[in-house]
Amino acid sequence: MKVLIADDHALVREGIVAFIKHDDEFEVVAEASDGLEAIEKTGKFHPDIVIMDINMPKLGGLEATVEIKKMWPDIKILVLTQYEDKEYISRFLKAGVSGYLLKKAVGSDLITSLKTISRGELYLYSSIATEVVARYLHGDKNGETEDPYEKLSDREKQVLKLVAEGYTHKEVGDMLHISAKTVIVHQTNISEKLDIHSRAGLIKFAIQKGIIKIDG
């Protein structure tokens, strides 16, 4: 099965390649360092599985996942990340990923997860599975539906991340292949839906919601 690796750290990608090359069932056909590149190379190489990091420059893993699943719904996506945040898990499962694995896992877990999702099954790292089951048993659904982030369209979520990262309207438009005027319209709609009317406020919201990360 063909695998694409999307992670902004070259060393992480090299480590994943090193594990995968020992298993004849999988072949790494491409690598990407951000969400936009992941979408582009998915269209070019048509992998069976995309291993997706969350926190990447330009479009992040969530935004790229939504776009890939929209254009190529049969492609399976395995999230490989250091983040165990409830909101991340919920958003990615809603987006239709096939697996969620933490980077603290060992190499054998990576191969196991790939084999599991290649069979059409869902793979969740043990602590993630425990969290998902706990939330299900406690009926924790109200908080998800009331998340203001979910008021935004897929395109608005893409624009929010890029604007919050400091890109200009023209830069955002160039990356998303839309005009700067359209970006401004999207930002206006975002501000109205979230009732946040400054770039600083949007940045704060993006940080609070984990849409962008400020790593110290």
CB-neighbour burial class of residue 186 (10 A; exposed 0-12, middle 13-18, buried 19+)? buried
- From residue 129, how far is each of 32, 64, 89, 110, 135 by CA, in Å? 28, 23, 10, 16, 10
Model confidence, pTM: 0.82
Please give the pLDDT value at position 1: 95
- From residue 158, how far is each of 40, 116, 134 by CA, in Å? 15, 30, 30
Q: 40: domain range?
A: 2-137
List, for residues 31-58, the tens digit of each pLDDT value: 999 999 999 999 999 999 999 999 898 8
Structure confidence at residue 12 as a pLDDT band (50, 70, 90) = very high
Structure confidence at residue 71 as a pLDDT band (50, 70, 90) = very high
- 36 lies in the same domain as 75: yes
- What is the torsion angle, in degrees rounded to the nearest 10, for the CA atoms of residue 15, residue 20, residue 23 and residue 29? -140
- 93 lies in the same domain as 184: no
Please give the pLDDT value at position 31: 97
- 190 lies in the same domain as 170: yes
Residue 104 falls within a domain, yes or no?
yes
- 23 lies in the same domain as 96: yes
